[in-house]
A and B are shown apart, each in its own frame.
Chain A
């Protein structure tokens, strides 16, 4: 098996507050292979964006990485100093954020921003970098890039702006792209264009992608594997078909049933009672136990660890029957 581009091992992120230490990410582990798209889904506050932020080392105090390892091509990057991390960001890990207007500087022309990024990560001269910028814009599907490149971000529409952001992320040919809700601010017709583009570019270059989103539809179409997060932990991780069509974890099951789809106009949507716990009040044992319909004694006492079921890994005691029988 080839070496994964990114390995996250038992990652823990904490926030130190007056009310004590809040653990926002608790023991998250996953790998992303070259050319693979890993979707990370979950509701607000599940810790999906924070996982991405932790990987690129952009967590601000009072937050801190409290444990675990982040490995890029087998080398640890979570313990590097600020300066070496800064060199990795942009060069080896590209980033795409939700709102394309806030991730571009409104005071600089698109050309200046692209050329700056390209020159930071390579030793091209001005005109070479500009030509490269134009090539990148052509690649992300911006019509008449020679003209548009000298425009300011506000002169671009939302979809076009997100294309510029993708061009920026790809500028240094990174090995990994972390895309945090890249299409959430866009309309469906534009969203479809952006997803197709991102997928095509990554396939061509063999770039690994960590796609963070709350939209299961986007994941179902784009990702190869998917991780479902709940309260800072991974509830289920597996191939996208398995998780979408045969979710095993009760939370993942509920989440899939709660999504209204075009396929079936069922009478009622599956409804998970309650809402996600606050970080100050994560229950003991399995974090999902107060909302779970299949809860039993062990769920309150012990925290479930990922158990291999089929091609997926599920953190749920329901699937630990073999062990129980053996004990």
Chain B
């Protein structure tokens, strides 16, 4: 009815407004997090030491389209989990902005709109032994978001919905009366997924969801997550240190190093032709099934302390292509890669060991 009364220019205008939101569902701009790691006040005063800050996340920018999986990979201490926590709002941001479906999660202004948005964002944690309350029955755990957001009121509707969710994640509705300790690790992670879906979430942040699981169970959970994405059009922010898992799940990958994004590329591109030297090093370091008896040249060194990061490009002490500019100047991302060597064309094509 409405469409018939709408004139042609009006329709154009409305589609123009919708377009950017369907383009990027989640927008993260210049996200920053500082932790105060100073010594106690008295000690600092006596020693005349300045305050000390740890830059856990230092200007991270990326977009996630609807129905897409964006993966953040990196070694421990690279800040990937901190990004995840800031995106869902578990940690306050020190700077930058997170927008989900056009609503700012970080600005104080639209708090009413943000409350509505909360329901649509959920998180799955790494350790399913720690993320479920051991004294609650599984049905209560899954029903909690439904009750918290007042989605259903009658107890019968809630029970039905919980049963439906349990079936959806491959458990039986009869499992609802059990306690978390009666389940194996994989089954617990299924319960955690059911809880995340209970509030009809559209955007799910998964922080290493399978790292605590055995490989055969990991395969079950990864397959389940992909099936649910296909069925319900979910958008994932997927955090992992396992590049093989990420290759299996993600459509776009961001590689983090010491709080900054070294490279953001479509998954296929990244595995076929990694551009940043750090990405190349990571890909080369992953032990792989097809690599029996392969001789490798491991990269020396470890991730430095974020309290006192190296000057310029933070990767320069480990980079084979380092020059004076890398030591002095922090590279800005150009076409998804933050590297002077790539920008100046000093880097050759990597003969990737992966057949794409």
Contacts and interface: CB of A to CB of B under 8 A. Distances in A.
Interface in B232-270: 241-245, 247-248, 267-268
A260 B184 CA distance: 21
B24 to A, nearest CB: 24
B20 interface: no
Given A193-B300, A265-B248, A188 B220 contact: no
B219 A195 contact: no
Nearest to B227: A268
Contact of A192 (B186, B215, B287): B287
A191 B282 CA distance: 11
A263 B222 contact: no
B345 interface: no
A217 interface: yes
Nearest to B249: A260
A265 B248 CA distance: 6
A261 B215 contact: no
Contact of A187 (B241, B247, B291, B300): B241
A158 to B, nearest CB: 8
Interface stretch (A50-58, A72-80, A89-97, A251-259): A251-259
Given A261-B289, A262-B283, A269-B222, A216 B215 contact: yes
B172 to A, nearest CB: 14
Contacts of B293: 221, 241
A97 to B, nearest CB: 19
Nearest to A265: B247
B296 A192 contact: yes
Contacts of A14: none
A275 interface: yes
B288 A254 contact: no
A220 B292 contact: yes
A268 B218 CA distance: 12
A192 B296 CA distance: 8
Given A216-B289, A262-B271, A189 B220 contact: no
Majority DSSP secondary structure for residues of A touching B: helix
Given A187-B75, A187-B303, A188-B282, A221 B287 contact: yes
B75 A262 contact: no
B299 interface: yes
Interface residues of B, number: 48
A188 B283 CA distance: 9
B344 interface: no
B212 to A, nearest CB: 10
Given A220-B287, A275-B217, A196 B248 contact: no
A158 B186 CA distance: 28
A272 B216 contact: yes
Interface in A267-286: 268-272, 275
B286 interface: yes
B323 interface: no
Nearest to A268: B223
Contact of B286 (A188, A193, A271): A188
A221 B302 contact: no
Contacts of B220: 271-272
Contacts of B268: 265
Interface string B72-115: 00011000000000000000000000000000000000000000
B302 A189 contact: yes
Interface string A229-255: 000000000001100110000000011
B5 to A, nearest CB: 46
A258 B248 CA distance: 11
A141 B194 CA distance: 47
B241 A196 contact: no
Contact of A188 (B75, B222, B355): B75
A211 to B, nearest CB: 12
B286 A241 contact: no
Interface string A205-237: 000000000111110111000000000000000
Interface of A: 43-44, 157-160, 187-193, 195-196, 214-218, 220-222, 240-241, 244-245, 254-263, 265-266, 268-272, 275
13 contacts: A43-B215, A43-B217, A44-B214, A187-B241, A189-B299, A220-B287, A220-B291, A221-B287, A221-B293, A240-B292, A258-B218, A260-B247, A275-B217
Given A192-B299, A261-B244, A272-B220, 18 more contacts: A187-B241, A189-B75, A191-B285, A192-B296, A193-B299, A217-B287, A220-B289, A220-B290, A256-B289, A260-B218, A260-B244, A262-B286, A265-B267, A269-B219, A269-B222, A269-B223, A270-B219, A271-B219
